[in-house]
Structures are given as C-alpha cells and as structure tokens.
Structure 1
Amino acid sequence: MDLIAAPAGATDLVLLAHGGEADSFKGAGDWRVALLRMWPFASVARAAAPDAAVGLMRYRYRGWNGSDASPAVDLRAVLDGLPASIRRVVLIGHSMGGRAVVAAGNHPLVSGVLALAPWLPPGEPLVALRGPVVFAHGTLDRITDPRQTAAYARRLRLSGIPVAMLTVEGEKHAMLRRTADWNTLVHRFTTAALGSTDCDALTADPDRTDPLPTWNRRTPLVSGIASIAKARLGSRLTHW
C-alpha cells in the first residue's frame, strides 16, 4: 500500500483498490491506466476526510488469477497488517479492485464498501459486507457487466444486507464521461461510511436500482483525463 495522506493521530483509513486483468502474474506497475484512474478519487477522499489516512493498494500482480484471487489476498493482508491506531477502514475499488473490496469487505475493520464498475462474475461468493454498501455501474460499460453487479446486489439484499445499486446513464468503464459525478459519489460515500452523513439509496428491496444523481455539469472527456494527471502529479507519497 502507498500512503497518499497520513495525518498524525489518524484512526481512519480510506483505502482505494485499482483494476487489473483476469489473469496475469506480471507486476502491477506504477503508471498503468488502471492505477492512475484512482488518483483523483484519492484526492476526493482527502477532501472528504481530512483527518483520515488515504492509501492506494499495490498488488503483487496485475491479475486476479482464478482461485488465487491475488488482489483480494493482498488487500486482506494489508488490512491485517495495519497499525493498531487504525480502527476503521473505508474500501473503494474499481473494476477488479471492486471485486477485491467486495471479497475483503467482511474484515472487522471495514466500515463501508464502494464498488465502482466492479467485476462480479456469476457465482462470485457472497460476502457479509460491513457498513454502507454501494455499487455504481455505467450503463454503457462493455468491460464489466452492470447486469452482473445488479445480480450480486440482489443476492446481498436477499441475504439481509441493504445495498445501494446506482446506474450511471451513458457511462463507460473508465468513468470519464461524468467525472465530477463519480467524484461526488466518492466524497459522499466516504463521509457516510465514516458516520458524518447518511448514505442515500440503501435498501433491502431486491430489484431496486437508482440513477446516479446529476450533481454536476457535464464536462468534456479531456477534462476527466486532465484531472487524473493533475491528481497524480500533484500528490506525494508518504509513510507511517
């Protein structure tokens, strides 16, 4: 894990998990697109929870790798190894990272799970997720399937776990068409998972979906790309 923020005395951690590939034992790398996409969300998390630490997962490998579930194993190892001062962890993951935060979302430190365009294939094990649980998926995503996300949300709800299932109209997998709305979602979720606000749209209704609100004016695709560069180049890594 790389720490993007580590305020003195922090007892909360917002931990972001990036996407990857179905199968690969190559190193995750520092400048891959999947990793870079999480940097703006890290900046948003810092603004939403200025007293919390903010971390970015670094997997050993870029692939899920079947039953090895490599990113989920790495994420759980990070959670198990956190300093005793950290009492709550908010998990936010995209794509394969969304699958990882779901897989590790029953860890006793977890206080909320946000999965953005997650990869949740049929037969994915059901996990007793902790805290508010929010899934959000673009309607035009062709990399991961929003129908599978809705199906997993339905299974969770039938097991008694309330879930917010948000559809993002006109959005693709990279989440660049409604960049500001994705950022607002991350901000609002972070404050809700840490108890500052309520989490909207949580429900046990198995088949309910809600549109992601249009909180912001649409901006050109290039603006979303520029925000990634700005967040990455404007941030520095730190350590406990």
Structure 2
Amino acid sequence: MPRQSRKESGTGIYHVMIRGINHQKIFNDEEDYFQFIATLDRMRFRYDDEGAPCGSNCTYYAYCLMSNHLHLLIRERGETVGETIKRIAGSYVFYYNRKYGRDGHLFKDRFKSEPVNDMGYFTTLLRYIHQNPVKAKLVERVRDYAYSSWGEFDGTVEPVFQICDTTTVLKRIPFDELKEWVDEPLEDDVPCLEMEDTPRERPSDDQIMLLIKEHTGVTNSTAFQQLQDGIKREVLKFLKSKGASYRQLERLTGVGRGLIQGL
C-alpha cells in the first residue's frame, strides 16, 4: 500500500513526533539530550560561506525529549518540515553512532506529523507536549523536567540558550494563563499524536457501566460512591487499564479526577 501524503498545514505549523526504531532509546544520558537540543538550535538557521547565520529554516514553539521519542511544535520557514527533520535526524544519528560505536538507523524511518491550523489546537499542543513527562510519571510537575522547552517560558533557561519563539506565544497568551493551562492535566482522550501506530479504541459509556455492574453489582454513580474505598480503587484501576478516560470515569462514577489520576 502506498504511503499517504502528509497533511499540509495552512499556517505552516506542525506537531511532529520522532521515535526510536523498534521503540529503542535515543537518549541515554544528559549529554545526549543536550546534544539534540544543540542540534535543534543549529538546524533552525541557514548559514553563509563564512559560517554566519543568513536566514531561518524554521521556528520552534515547543519541544519535549523523552527517552525513546520526542515531540516538536515547529513552523516551516525557508524549507519544508520534512527537510528540516531530515537534517536534524541525520546530524544527531551521526553523533549517536560515533559515540556508541554503532551504525545503521536510530529513528523510525518516517516521522509522524499533524497540521496545526488554529490557535485552540496550538494551545492544546503546548499543554500536551510539556505534560509528557508528568503523564509518564517521570516528574510530578511540568517545571521539574529538564529536557523540555518549558524552562524557556518560565525564565529558568538563560536567554542565550533559548531556541523557541516564546515571545510570539506569550504575546497571545499571558504567562500566568499559560502556566495555569499547562499545569492542568489534559484528558486522556485528547486526539494528539500518540506512540501507537493505530488509534487506541476507548470503551463506550455503556461498556464501562456494564463492566462496573459485572464487578460490583451497582448500576449508577451514587451506588458506586458508597462502595468501600478499596473496591472503588481496584475497579477504577481496572477500567483505566481497559482504556477508559479520566473524563468518562469521573462522569460515570462520581469520583473526583484527582483520585482517579493518582491510581
């Protein structure tokens, strides 16, 4: 089956995800993470024969580097997003293979991307990208993760080391408002790019209620809330393992989202 063409963005902005081949690690230590950030920095410019920057290839708005994949919110400038990602990947693979005495591919051969055509989804992605380490339980708070662009927004990264265009974002979204949004967990069913090659199917509300009835005998949220705490926790864990979202569980069981997320 021939590959489908990438969907083009009317704004030139894309959410890109790159992952290691066979889900292998692409960052093993701090040096690897900072090498990739330095690569992002270099590849956003074009250079003249003297080695001085002479134009812009792209603009970054956000990034987050995880051990076996990364997310990037990027805008095309002097070249296509495909050309930019190809140069970024090629440069980092050269470094990685030399450092670890290996050869061959490091990244999955085709990166994932989706167009970003409105401010609402752009804001959702700022939250989604920066919340990746929290969702993976690597840190408790977005600001605690060292290998994302959030430090550029909150000022903990010195301006000389900043690679993202935070100014344009903060002109549209005041920092206090952005921080509040980023600190508020997104629902599990927000339709951003995911690691899986196929979409994860979620159970319907009726299917969830049937599972609750099978495991507890109750048929409504009021009765569910009256169950013993241990039983409620076990059932909620089970429903989460079946793909139920936080929003569904909160709505159908009456249990607060904070408790559900903590399970």
TM-score (norm 2): 0.28
Decide which structure has greater helix share.
2
Tell which structure's C-alpha radius of gyration is larger.
2
Query: Counting strand residues as a fraction of each chain, which structure ranks higher?
Result: 1
Larger RCO: Structure 1 or Structure 2 (Cα < 8 Å, ≥ 6 residues apart)? 1
TM-score, with length taken from structure 1: 0.30
